[in-house]
Amino acid sequence: MLNYIWAGLIVSSFVFALGHDIRDIAGDRYRNGRPLPVELSFPEGHDPAARRVPVEIRIEPGEYASFYGTGQRPAASYAGYLLQTREGVQLRFGAGAKLPEPLATIAKASRSRDEELQGRLLGLTPPERVQGTGLATAMTAVVFEPVRFVKMSAIAAAALDFAKTGAEIALGLIGVLALFLGVLKIAEHAGIIYALVKLVRPILRPLFPEIPPDHPALGMIALNLAANVFGLGNAATPFGIKAMEELQKLNPREDTATNPMVMLLAVNTASVQLVPPVLLLALLGLQINRLIFPIIITTVLSLVVAIAAVKLFGRLPGVRASDPNRNPPPPAAAPTA
Amino acid sequence: MNELRDAVNLLSYFVIPLILVGFPLYGLYKRVPVYESFVEGAREGFQVAVRIIPYLVAILFAIAMFRASGAMDFLTLILSPVLGLIGFPAEVLPMAIIRPLTGSGSAGIVVDMVNQYGEDSILVKMAAVMFGSTETTFYVIAVYFGAVNIKKTRHAVPAGLTADVAAMIFAVWTVRLLFG
């Protein structure tokens, strides 16, 4: 199942990105290579010899709308500057300008430094001074860098970015994992886990019938569930991992999930918590007080569904056949005593 | 209800300190070499974290690509008329789809929806209940199964997703019932 979902995510993202980009090209969404008329004014005058000349950029909204075929409107004016080199004159919009689509996408895709939207100016007639205002203005046109395959580069960037994030998240867990796994080892040596097993056995046995009655896995599962209930995600993860390790000791096939493993996972993804996540509190503030009741109802109902789903799906012939306990590995693969 | 909530809230402040102090204290009483035991157990932290990396990278990059491609918009487009039949508002559909995939992404959606519809709107309440009552299923699968190198997940994904779908529908219904 996970194989298909995973491949489905990757393949469909490629297909959708390609479709989006082909539509862009077919509709010439970015008007690649065609000049957009702009009006420049020079608050500090125009010095043809200066490398950098500050300008104010005005785009006529009607012209913009018909040029790009969009309903979005540009702002009244944008701060920017001219970069005058021997190769020509480049117009740059100031970083952080609130650009309308599709200019915003062009700015992101044109790979300039600091996310400044940049384009080549087509001919700059020397600005004339407007009588009375003292401002020099000039009409000209700008050609932006051609933009192609926006989504294709977006999915590539996202993949690289999140590969890094994945490793960072995992490594970021080291400290917390070490802390709680250390304390759990003390609990194991002190016999706390066994005491806990006796305590929770009547409740957890029906959910995890495959676990032997005195196995420490039940104690770890109890700790994991308790941490979840109190909204302590930091502690719940190490406890859950430790519980998985205990369950793995009972597993005859080490690459295949056993029924109790699937149950533990389902109970965790359904996430029974009486204390709402801190993140939600941060996002919604005091609103959360009125939402606690619906959250608890929903989470308990979905827990019931999760347990029922694990038990029901567990009876499907294909799932039954893959149960490591029903179908232990061939003797050749099993470690000999 | 309020008293229960206050009690749970109060307890939640003490659970971690109680575990961190109580376990070693009890260990001392049982004459366990607590420091040595702690270090022995903590050593595993690094191995577990490193073991998780391939699983987490596999899941996260695929989901990130899927989100970046715009496939999500398409999914929303085709699913919303179907779900409209059972009274599921199209506005919270992105939340329902993203919630099992990414935690940070779904938190971002709550923020967007607060900005767009206002804190008091029933849509924001639905999204918040969805966020609060479920977990990032694929992250949990990657971390928990990754930690013990389980590659064949059997019915874990279908069961987890079934529970997620149920939670999303329950969230809409309970919010409608209480605030609608």
**pLDDT one-digit tens code per residue, A201-250:** 898 999 999 999 889 999 999 999 988 888 777 788 999 999 999 999 99
Residue B17 sits in the same domain as residue B51: no
Is there a domain that residue B37 lies in?
Answer: no
Q: What is the pLDDT of residue A334?
A: 52
Structural contact between residues A166 and B55, judged by C-beta atoms closer than 8 angstroms: no
Q: What is the pLDDT of residue A258?
A: 95
Is there a domain that residue A333 lies in?
Answer: no
Residue A236 sits in the same domain as residue A311: yes
Q: What is the pLDDT of residue A331?
A: 63
Mutate to test the interface with B, among A20, A108, A150, A162 (most CBs of B within 10 A): A162
How far lies A180's CA from each of A120, A176, A235, A249, B30, in Å?
59, 6, 7, 20, 19
Is there a domain that residue B105 lies in?
Answer: yes
Residue B77 sits in the same domain as residue B166: yes
Q: State in Å, rounded, how far the first CA of chain B is from the last one.
A: 21
Residue B52 sits in the same domain as residue B9: no
Q: How high is the mean pLDDT of chain B?
A: 90
Helices (H), A28-111: 61-68, 103-109
Residue A115 sits in the same domain as residue A198: no
For chain A, how many structural domains are there in total? 3
- pLDDT exceeds cutoff 80 at A124: no
Residue B28 sits in the same domain as residue B92: no
Residue B107 sits in the same domain as residue B173: yes
Question: Which residues neighbour B8 within 8 Å (Cβ) at sequence distance 6 or greater?
Answer: A229, A230, A274, A275
Is there a domain that residue A326 lies in?
Answer: no
* pLDDT confidence tier of residue A127, bands split at 50, 70 and 90: low
Residue A163 sits in the same domain as residue A230: no
Q: Record the tokens describing residue B25, joined without a space.
A: 């204290």
Residue A160 sits in the same domain as residue A193: no
Provide the 8-state DSSP code for A116.
-
* pLDDT confidence tier of residue A132, bands split at 50, 70 and 90: low
Residue A222 sits in the same domain as residue A300: yes
Residue B57 sits in the same domain as residue B106: yes
Q: What is the DSSP string of A309-324?
A: HHHHHTTSHHHHHT-T
Cβ pairs A/B, distance under 8 A? 361
Average pLDDT for A87-95: 84
B111 interaction partners in chain A (CB closer than 8 Å): 283
Residue A81 sits in the same domain as residue A205: no
Q: What is the pLDDT of residue A126?
A: 66
Structural contact between residues A136 and A46, judged by C-beta atoms closer than 8 angstroms: yes
Q: How high is the mean pLDDT of chain A?
A: 86
Q: What is the pLDDT of residue A60?
A: 87
Q: Across the interface, do A255 and B150 touch by the CB < 8 Å criterion?
A: yes
CA–CA dist B110, B127 (Å, integer): 6
Chain A from 152 to 171: CB within 8 A of any B CB: 154-155, 157-163, 165-167, 169-171
Structural contact between residues B166 and A334, judged by C-beta atoms closer than 8 angstroms: no
Q: What is the pLDDT of residue A72?
A: 85
Is there a domain that residue B39 lies in?
Answer: no
- H-run or E-run covering A83: strand A78-85
Residue A183 sits in the same domain as residue A208: yes
For chain B, how many structural domains are there in total? 2
Q: What is the pLDDT of residue A302?
A: 94
Higher pLDDT, B161 or B105: B161
Cis peptide before A331 (omega within 30 of 0): no
- pLDDT exceeds cutoff 60 at A178: yes
Q: What is the pLDDT of residue B66?
A: 92
Is there a domain that residue B1 lies in?
Answer: yes
How far lies A327's CA from each of A211, A212, A252, in Å?
17, 18, 9
Percent of chain B with pLDDT over 90: 59
Residue B136 sits in the same domain as residue B163: yes
- pLDDT exceeds cutoff 90 at B170: yes
Cis peptide before A213 (omega within 30 of 0): no
- pLDDT exceeds cutoff 80 at B177: yes
- pLDDT exceeds cutoff 90 at B85: no
Work out the minimum CA distance from B38 to partner chain A, whole angstroms.
Answer: 4
Structural contact between residues A237 and B143, judged by C-beta atoms closer than 8 angstroms: yes
Residue B153 sits in the same domain as residue B106: yes
* pLDDT confidence tier of residue B119, bands split at 50, 70 and 90: confident
Supply the range of the domain harboring residue A235. 173-321
Q: What is the pLDDT of residue A332?
A: 58
* pLDDT confidence tier of residue A168, bands split at 50, 70 and 90: very high
Residue A141 sits in the same domain as residue A180: no
Residue A179 sits in the same domain as residue A299: yes
Q: What is the pLDDT of residue A255?
A: 93
| Interval A311-337: pLDDT, tens | 999 999 989 999 998 877 776 555 554
Is there a domain that residue A229 lies in?
Answer: yes
CA–CA dist A205, A214 (Å, integer): 10
- pLDDT exceeds cutoff 60 at B27: yes
Minimal CA–CA distance to A287: which of B8, B123, B120, B111? B120
Q: Across the interface, do B154 and A165 touch by the CB < 8 Å criterion?
A: no
CA–CA dist B47, A174 (Å, integer): 8
Residue A13 sits in the same domain as residue A161: yes
Q: What is the pLDDT of residue B169?
A: 94
| Interval A14-60: pLDDT, tens | 999 999 999 989 988 888 888 988 888 888 777 778 888 888 888 88
Ranges A8-12, A96-100, A152-156: which has the least confidence: A96-100
Is there a domain that residue A327 lies in?
Answer: no
Q: What is the pLDDT of residue A112?
A: 59
Is there a domain that residue A336 lies in?
Answer: no
Q: What is the pLDDT of residue A235?
A: 85
Q: Record the tokens describing residue B9, joined without a space.
A: 């809230």
Q: Across the interface, do B133 and A299 touch by the CB < 8 Å criterion?
A: yes
Residue B49 sits in the same domain as residue B83: yes
CA–CA dist B61, A181 (Å, integer): 28
Residue B89 sits in the same domain as residue B161: yes
| Interval A95-107: pLDDT, tens | 777 888 888 888 8
Q: Which of A123-127, A327-331, B96-100 has the highest mean pLDDT?
A: B96-100
Is there a domain that residue B146 lies in?
Answer: yes
Facing residues of A141 across strands? A37, A122
Question: Which residues neighbour B1 within 8 Å (Cβ) at sequence distance 6 or greater?
Answer: A293
Supply the range of the domain harboring residue B149. 44-179
Structural contact between residues A89 and A120, judged by C-beta atoms closer than 8 angstroms: yes
Average pLDDT for B28-35: 94
